[in-house]
Amino acid sequence: MTSLGSRLFCRMERMCYRLPVFLNTFLVFSITGEVSYLVMVEAPLEADQKKTAWSTWWKAVHLLSQYFMLGNICWNALLFYRTSPSIKGVFLGGEAMGQGWRYCYTCETHTPPRCSHCYDCKVCVLRRDHHCVFFDQCVGFRNYRYFLSCLLFMWSGLLYATLMNAEVFIVILKEGVTLHSVLLLLIPWIMLISGQVSARAFAFAFIADTCVVGFLLVSAFFFLHLFLLFRGQTTREWYSSRRPYSLGLLGNLRHTLGNRWYVCWLSPLIPSPIPGDGINFVITGSLEPCR
Ligand SMILES: [Zn+2]
Ligand SMILES: [Zn+2]
């Protein structure tokens, strides 16, 4: 009975960890579906512009851009998830230890600089940045490129969806800034449950709200990681005010995104080998906190 209980608990725990992935996937596909609908059926929403803009080829350009972004989000997310950044299966160099090496008592091994133990992944991770709760996976040396590309296309996709949904806001508010329209935009769930709005109006208002909130959140993450990429720092090093491995702007781009850093973000299919092994790093600054 105890083992059945613990198995059930473990399964529930795993489901809780997977929940953000399912929720994210659902939101990404819902937003793409809604924006595709806006382009194909509704655009432009404002009556006076109908049949004047949005020719077939212009709609095709919109749809192709959307699916290019969606494809890149999904493919990068999949590769990020499947590329383990951990030390498992990596030859760390035997007893060759130098500055920055530590001993991990959980993994029972010496670990290289910038490597640290993740208590969620239960393993040490090379050039560990942080543990991403949305994918239940660590961001590290081998999968940083996919993480950043996924973030880039989520940001651009949400920017696009927010601009497209701006028309939804305009149409709702053009009907008159009433308490009803303001409440629909602010608390769509309560308006739906209380029977004040139709399911269609709720779906549009909910997705428009999700785009705005998602865009603000993803912008914060994306620009923080661009800032760290340019500085050659991990989130952990930024927290502890250390920047000992910066190689200058071009060096940082090359050592994080790979040799084809200038083009690899366009598609995860473009090979871009990263110089270095994630174990040895050139020290260019103080290992102590700099402020
Ligand atoms: Zn460890
Ligand atoms: Zn982790």
**Among 275, 216, 274, 212, CA closest to 83:** 274
Q: Which of 17-26, 150-159, 169-178, 241-250 has the lowest mean pLDDT?
A: 169-178
Looking at 235-276, list the stretches that DSSP marks H as alpha helix, in order from N- to C-terminal side.
235-239, 248-257
pTM of the model: 0.84
124 CA from centroid of ligand 1 (Å): 4
Q: What is the mean pLDDT of residues 127-151?
A: 93
Give me the domain span that covers residue 16.
2-90+124-266
Residue 118: beta bridge partners?
Answer: 123
Tell me the ligand closest to 133's alpha carbon: 2
11 occurs within a structural domain? yes
- Tell me the pLDDT tens digit for each residue of 44-78: 555 555 555 678 888 889 899 999 999 999 999 99
DSSP class of 40? I
- How far apart, in whole angstroms, are the C-alpha atoms of residue 186 and residue 212? 12
- pLDDT band of 176, cuts 50, 70, 90: low
139 CA from centroid of ligand 1 (Å): 15
276 occurs within a structural domain? no
**Among 151, 83, 86, 79, CA closest to 120:** 86
- pLDDT band of 202, cuts 50, 70, 90: confident
13 occurs within a structural domain? yes
36 CA from centroid of ligand 2 (Å): 35
- How far apart, in whole angstroms, are the C-alpha atoms of residue 98 and residue 103? 12
106 occurs within a structural domain? no
Catalogue the E-assigned strands of the chain. Answer: 102-104, 109-111, 116-118, 123-125, 130-132, 137-139
Is the Cβ–Cβ distance between 239 and 116 less than 8 Å? no
174 occurs within a structural domain? yes
114 occurs within a structural domain? no
Question: For residue 126, is pLDDT > 60?
Answer: yes
Would you state the pLDDT for residue 183? 75
- pLDDT band of 2, cuts 50, 70, 90: low
- How far apart, in whole angstroms, are the C-alpha atoms of residue 269 and residue 263? 11
Active site residues: 132
Tell me the ligand closest to 117's alpha carbon: 1
101 occurs within a structural domain? no
97 occurs within a structural domain? no
- How many structural domains does the chain have? 1
Among 184-193, 196-205, 245-254, name the most confident range: 245-254
Longest CA–CA span in the chain (Å) reads: 74
